[in-house]
Amino acid sequence: EVQLVESGGGSAQPGRSLRLSCTASGFTFDDYAMYWVRQVPGKGLEWVSGISWNSDSAGYADSVKGRFTISRDNAKKSLYLQMDSLRSEDTAVYYCAKETRGYNYGLNGMDVWGQGTTVTVSS
């Protein structure tokens, strides 16, 4: 079964850090670009960050650039999001998602999603 499982969410104070992880199974992880997408409860989806299959390229939303860092470990079939200098507006459910077609970035949609992990930033 193709599956993504996020972990690492929780509560943090403003200015602190959290690291999210996403573990993949059921597909050849190192063939696919991966993404983080977040959603404030009751609001829409916001793309946060993406990384190519070989880590050669990455992108960030303007709202997180310079504070968040995406990375992956293909040997461990894992995707990460290091979130530094957290702000209250980073409070959301964070999903990891897989590019639909291999060796593409941002061109074919996201066909597999995790169930999400909740991040709450509050003093």
Partner 1 sequence: SSELTQDPAVSVALGQTVRITCQGDTLRSYYASWYQQKPGQAPTLVLYNTNYRPSGIPDRFSGSRSGTTASLTITGAQAEDEADYYCNSRDFYNNQLVFGGGTKVTVL
**Residue 114 makes contact with partner 1 by CB under 8 A:** yes
- List, in order, residues 6 or more apart from 123 with CB less than 8 Å away: 13, 14
**Binding track over 6-35 against partner 1, x by CB under 8 A:** -----------------------------x
In the list 11, 25, 88, 108, the residue contacting partner 1 (rule: CB under 8 A) is: 108
> Measured from the CB of residue 31, what is the shortest distance to partner 1 in angstroms?
17
- List, in order, residues 6 or more apart from 42 with CB less than 8 Å away: none
For partner 1, the closer CB: 13 or 57: 57
For partner 1, the closer CB: 80 or 105: 105
Length of the chain: 123
Phi first, then psi: what are they for 68, rounded to 5°? -110, 150
Q: What is the 3-state secondary structure (H, E, C) of 55-83?
A: CCCEEECCCCCCCEEEEEEHHHCEEEEEE
In the list 21, 30, 61, 74, the residue contacting partner 1 (rule: CB under 8 A) is: 61
**Residue 57 makes contact with partner 1 by CB under 8 A:** yes
> Measured from the CB of residue 11, what is the shortest distance to partner 1 in angstroms?
21
Question: Pairing between strand 34-39 and 18-25?
Answer: unpaired
DSSP state of 89: G
Residues that bind partner 1 (CB under 8 A): 35, 37, 44-47, 50, 57-62, 95, 97, 100, 105-111, 113-116
